[in-house]
Structure 1
């Protein structure tokens, strides 16, 4: 008789044991699928978090210029970048805030001699730490984004706007400290600096209320050669990518000529927990696979002991030993197939709640500059055909290993001794 047909008859004849074996396979396949689903969901969420959260790298150096910052920012690991160009400027038709106290005699001239306004040339206002962490906030309008590079716009402080009656869309004129160059800029947004007004004399361009943020080209136009780059901040996906950016900066700026600081706190807070869940899921898959081999191997071994008489009769009738081994493999594999189907249905139904329980949704990194970062996608646990295929392959592998290892004993059986012991 064909050993495949004989396997089917054996499963039908032992309905209770077949049902018990099916139940064990369902549990194993469900756990395996759960591990694969969590692993895949963690990988997707990690990729999304890297794209939206990332790691901020600050570079400072005398040789760093706006052109070199643009070259570094165009490298593939960099997703966002922001050079910062400070400049003191003069006000034309604009009444800047005045220090609360007169300048003391013999006191330092400070920055007031360079102009009463503090211009900050930026590319992406949302990457400045005060705005990124919410201490400075846009109260109306919006912040400066890379698309504003060719525009003459400005984001001004709330106190300066209130003193001059400025609102969104108004135009103000700023100029170089020597008055030779002037630029008209349109008010794009109004922000609030949390720092209070000082209680003693302070140079006008150091007062929090006299700060204007403009696109970097505006500062370059006003400052000329004096428009030096203070620092540049680059956002990459992970600390490993920051190492690649360091190598590129070293190539462009030279060894030891620049400072390189990595701020990966947000990355650690939001990405590392997801990585731990992914590692836990991988460990679950390995442990369940090993436990499945041991449990099913023990069950098959017990079945072989109980079916010694049946095996002895088949061997005495001339049946090949390897066919008996394959009969047990087929029996286990036939039970495995519906178990995978049940696991797939269970995973489809319970997947979302499983992801919500084990994968914390990263907090939204909302930039207070009026340009929020893309929201990190919530954890999604979905049953893909690839995951079901992995469970099926691993389940069949467990069936094979758990059957072949105990089945080695079948190869050592002798029909005469089996039948003699059974009498």
Structure 2
């Protein structure tokens, strides 16, 4: 009988010890399998959510760090650094990770003649109503300048072009007086493609109140304005979210307000918006010594990366190009702020895997060693009959692998179920509840890395399932741990002296 046959015979002959070893490995295997299942699931959630968020990035002023570095200085005399120049944004945009990029300047205008579109009013059937107006009934409209002719919001499926065309390279370069507007806004104001839209720069919004905020009479001769006619070349509509929020929920109204802001946004070339903004500032702040002179221009850059996985590498290369206190913010950062519960659960499962592997090494090693001591005479006979130590060690190893393989395969299923139950309990516990309660909603026409991600979206994406990665990782860790635990018993066999045993 060779050593392989002896190993199989030994497992079936010593049923009691085989069952004890099977149960020990099965219990420990369940702990390892459950922890690995949780760790794999949390990792998959992070990958999936970040992929859905997209590979968007922008550059922002790190206000918190600046305040921390200047906490001892007087706020009134604090000098903030200048905004990065356009050539800095363009250098960042030329990095190999960037698919395409844009930088935007923003402004607004108000009007008594134009009507804004409001989803909530339309839903309530009040066709004559518009959204809440500003000072003395003025309607407010957003102006968004672009440098990327195809309009980044269209490329990112934030809006869709339903009629007309986008800008040409020449339109953007020359700062042409052309615009792409919301379809519903146009219908509200009876505007068609090719019509002239009158954008008015005026100081009226600044009038009507004194320095203390008290309302005063506005004289018609005090109102100054300059008209900027622009030609409408295209109509767009906001793209609906794949996940429709529950009606009358906070998320529902947030999404409705966001769509309303988009509908009342007018896309223009950057130069066109800049020219308008300068005239608007002149009219609004003329005579104000504190606001005289060039107020400068502010641009908000937006970078679309080729791959979501390039985000960290992009940050490392981009941030050295930026002025001090300016940093790169990515859309995937929203997961880091919202997905705290997943990160905590992933860390807990990682620690459980490490502790259970160490425990498995010690427990299985000691159990097998005790069994080997009981079989000392059997092993001594094999050696005295001329069997090599290598084959005796191979027999013990095969016995251990047969029992552990059965236990690990069975615990592969039960451990997955255990991981599912434990993770659900953790998410419902106070340990993780504080993060889940802090639901955040990102959506704004001014936010180039915006999304409607919430904490509920993150927890809702969490699922413990069987996967090739889970099975492979668990069997690799489980069998590797069992083989390492066999080192102690195998060392015992090497020390056996058949002459002393047989005496």
TM-score normalised by structure 1 residue count: 0.65
> CA deviation digits over 1:164-209, x for unaligned, max 9?
xx975754933253325334597969xxxxxxxxxxxxxxxxxxxx
| Distance across 1 between alignment mates of 2:134 and 2:394 | 93
| Distance across 2 between alignment mates of 1:229 and 1:246 | 27
Tell me: CA distance 1:182–1:79, structure 2 relative to 1, closer, same or farther (3 Å).
closer
2:199 to 159, 168, 175: 175
| Distance across 2 between alignment mates of 1:283 and 1:91 | 63
| Distance across 2 between alignment mates of 1:403 and 1:187 | 68
Give the unaligned 5+ runs of structure 1.
102-114, 124-143, 190-209
Contact 2:318/2:328, CA 8 A, preserved across alignment: no
**Equivalent residue, structure 2, for 1:201:** none
2:486 to 399, 403, 413: 403
| Distance across 1 between alignment mates of 2:30 and 2:452 | 37
Tell me: CA distance 1:235–1:294, structure 2 relative to 1, closer, same or farther (3 Å).
farther
**Structure 1 position 244, deviation (Å):** 3.6
**Structure 1 position 21, deviation (Å):** 0.7
Contact 1:183/1:222, CA 8 A, preserved across alignment: no
Contact 1:84/1:232, CA 8 A, preserved across alignment: yes
Matches within 5 A, 1:41-52: 41-51=41-51
| Distance across 2 between alignment mates of 1:391 and 1:247 | 37
**Equivalent residue, structure 1, for 2:452:** 373
Contact 2:33/2:416, CA 8 A, preserved across alignment: no
| Distance across 2 between alignment mates of 1:351 and 1:72 | 44
Tell me: CA distance 1:52–1:373, structure 2 relative to 1, closer, same or farther (3 Å).
farther
Equivalent residue of 2:86, what SS?
A: coil
1:216 paired with 2:229, answer no
**Equivalent residue, structure 2, for 1:18:** 18
> CA deviation digits over 1:77-116, x for unaligned, max 9?
7999873421546665669968559xxxxxxxxxxxxx99
1:390 paired with 2:473, answer yes
**Equivalent residue, structure 1, for 2:104:** 83
Contact 2:109/2:200, CA 8 A, preserved across alignment: yes
Contact 2:315/2:328, CA 8 A, preserved across alignment: no
**Equivalent residue, structure 1, for 2:400:** 332
| Distance across 2 between alignment mates of 1:291 and 1:56 | 47
Matches within 5 A, 1:241-320: 241=311, 244-245=314-315, 247-248=317-318, 251=321, 255=323, 259-260=326-327, 266-320=334-388
Tell me: CA distance 1:372–1:316, structure 2 relative to 1, closer, same or farther (3 Å).
closer
Give the unaligned 5+ runs of structure 2.
62-81, 117-131, 147-156, 168-178, 202-225, 239-260, 279-295
Larger CA deviation: 268-277 vs 67-76: 67-76
> CA deviation digits over 1:358-401, x for unaligned, max 9?
46796876556699636545112222233223332333333322
> CA deviation digits over 1:228-284, x for unaligned, max 9?
85341658999x947844853764xx746x954759984443234423332332222
1:153 paired with 2:236, answer no
| Distance across 1 between alignment mates of 2:311 and 2:468 | 32
**Structure 1 position 34, deviation (Å):** 1.7
**Equivalent residue, structure 2, for 1:40:** 40
Tell me: CA distance 1:15–1:89, structure 2 relative to 1, closer, same or farther (3 Å).
same
Tell me: CA distance 1:349–1:80, structure 2 relative to 1, closer, same or farther (3 Å).
farther
Equivalent residue of 2:486, what SS?
A: helix
| Distance across 1 between alignment mates of 2:197 and 2:95 | 32
Equivalent residue of 2:143, what SS?
A: strand
Contact 1:43/1:278, CA 8 A, preserved across alignment: yes
1:58 paired with 2:60, answer yes
Equivalent residue of 1:217, what SS?
A: strand
**Structure 1 position 22, deviation (Å):** 0.6
**Equivalent residue, structure 2, for 1:141:** none
| Distance across 1 between alignment mates of 2:265 and 2:480 | 63
Equivalent residue of 1:399, what SS?
A: helix
- Quote the RMSD (CA, aligned, Å): 4.8
Contact 1:91/1:174, CA 8 A, preserved across alignment: no
Equivalent residue of 2:227, what SS?
A: coil
| Distance across 1 between alignment mates of 2:52 and 2:145 | 20
Contact 1:35/1:281, CA 8 A, preserved across alignment: yes
**Equivalent residue, structure 2, for 1:414:** 497
Tell me: CA distance 1:73–1:409, structure 2 relative to 1, closer, same or farther (3 Å).
same
Tell me: CA distance 1:390–1:79, structure 2 relative to 1, closer, same or farther (3 Å).
farther
| Distance across 1 between alignment mates of 2:3 and 2:335 | 57
Contact 2:46/2:335, CA 8 A, preserved across alignment: no
